[in-house]
């Protein structure tokens, strides 16, 4: 089992962030809709902006400035021009997602609709005795989605996902979730030969609950030693203060000529340019990805890296 498959499964899990009676398919979509409307993570009413500093144990000498604004999402800036740390921004953005920032609708991310999926519901009892409703979505014949079967056990009293199972062409990833005050405190992701555990702790700042620390442990024969344990610490939170000008300004794209290379080739060229210290070429290659390949999986990472490069 490759680490990439586990990480892909984790992304799917984070997004969706005692009987056997089956209900009508419409009920599954209605419950999913209610889940997406009711679970808001740390983005509670009254919180308009938030800023902090983040440090990762893998890069102890680097600091990431994190900026969040309601309706705009998260932007990051990595201090220093070390190419090895350029991936810290997207990484920290992802882990802030597990702590409840920038909650995205799983129905939109995975393109789940009544037209392309068959859905059922089933009442279940979890290991701790909690009554839940299990939703199961299966793509209709001919539909090519990111999953072949997606199930989630939803606690409809608190509107949280307690368990999930994501089947893809690469295999199955199972997830279990624990909460405190409707914020995820622990996520356990299981796949063949690999276990990933993410724990989040929180602190209060000006009456708002915000992430304080994220700890990640990975166990499995294919897990590199450097990835077995990692800690991200968040500090110096500032809420509802003005975010510096330019943070959410989108890069200009008019000066990016149409490429002949694929998005993957452009990304490799950008990485190579950064390693050589040629930031102008790196910016051009990343910009070409965001402009001409906006739907490619590389585009989001390219956009984040582009905003971290020195102007």
pLDDT tens-digit series, residues 195-217: 999 999 999 999 999 999 999 99
Mean of pLDDT over the chain: 84
The residue that leads in pLDDT, 37 or 304, is: 37
Q: Name the pLDDT band for 17 (thresholds 50, 70, 90).
A: very low
Q: Give yes or no for residue 27 having a pLDDT over 60.
A: yes
pTM, to two decimals: 0.74
- Distance from C-alpha of 232 to C-alpha of 308, rounded to nearest angstrom: 19
Q: What is the pLDDT of residues 158-188, one digit of tens each?
A: 999 999 999 988 899 999 999 999 999 999 9
- Show me where the domains of the chain are located: 3-42+104-239, 250-311
- Distance from C-alpha of 115 to C-alpha of 134, rounded to nearest angstrom: 20
Q: What is the pLDDT of residues 241-296, one digit of tens each?
A: 999 888 887 655 556 788 888 888 888 888 888 887 788 888 888 888 888 887 67
Per-range mean pLDDT, top range of 3-7, 85-89, 272-276, 304-308: 272-276
Q: Which two tokens stand for residue 262?
A: 């694929």
- B/e letters for 265-292, b = 16+ CB within 10 Å, e = fewer, are ebbebbbebbeeeebeebbbbbbbbbbb
Q: Which two tokens stand for residue 176?
A: 């279990």
* pLDDT at residue 253, as a whole number: 52
User: Crossing angle of helices 263-275/298-308, nearest 10°?
Assistant: 30
* pLDDT at residue 22, as a whole number: 37
Q: Give yes or no for residue 297 having a pLDDT over 80.
A: no
* pLDDT at residue 13, as a whole number: 53
Q: What is the pLDDT of residues 92-150, one digit of tens each?
A: 888 898 888 887 788 888 899 999 999 999 999 999 999 999 999 999 999 989 899 99
The residue that leads in pLDDT, 274 or 307, is: 274
Q: What is the pLDDT of residues 94-107, one digit of tens each?
A: 889 888 888 778 88
């Amino acid at each position: 089992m490759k680490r990439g498959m586990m990480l892909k499964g984790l992304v799917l899990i984070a997004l969706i962030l005692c009987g056997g009676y089956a209900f009508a398919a419409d009920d599954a979509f209605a419950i999913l809709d209610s889940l997406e409307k009711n679970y808001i993570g740390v983005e509670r009413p009254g919180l308009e902006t938030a800023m902090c500093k983040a440090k990762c144990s893998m890069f102890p000498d680097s600091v990431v400035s994190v900026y969040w604004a309601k309706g705009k999402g998260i932007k990051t800036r990595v201090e220093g021009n070390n190419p090895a740390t350029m991936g810290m921004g997207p990484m920290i953005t992802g882990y802030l997602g597990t702590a409840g920032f920038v909650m995205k609708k799983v129905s939109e991310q995975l393109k789940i609709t009544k037209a392309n999926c068959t859905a059922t519901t089933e009442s279940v009892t979890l290991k701790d005795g909690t009554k839940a409703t299990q939703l199961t979505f299966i793509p209709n014949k001919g539909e090519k989605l990111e999953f072949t079967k997606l199930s989630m056990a939803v606690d409809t009293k608190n509107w949280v996902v307690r368990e999930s199972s994501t089947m893809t062409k690469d295999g199955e990833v199972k997830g279990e979730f624990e909460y405190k005050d409707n914020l995820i405190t622990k996520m356990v992701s299981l796949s063949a030969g690999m276990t990933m555990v993410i724990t989040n702790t929180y602190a209060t700042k000006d009456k708002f609950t915000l992430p304080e620390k994220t700890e990640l442990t990975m166990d499995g024969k294919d897990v590199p030693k450097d990835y077995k344990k990692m800690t991200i610490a968040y500090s110096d939170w500032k809420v509802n203060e003005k975010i510096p000008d330019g943070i959410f300004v989108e890069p200009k794209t008019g000066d990016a000529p149409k490429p002949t290379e694929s998005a993957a080739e452009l990304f490799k060229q950008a990485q190579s340019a950064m390693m050589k210290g040629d930031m102008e070429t790196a910016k051009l290659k990343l910009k070409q990805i965001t402009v001409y390949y906006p739907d490619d999986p590389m585009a989001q990472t390219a956009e984040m890296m582009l905003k971290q490069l020195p102007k």
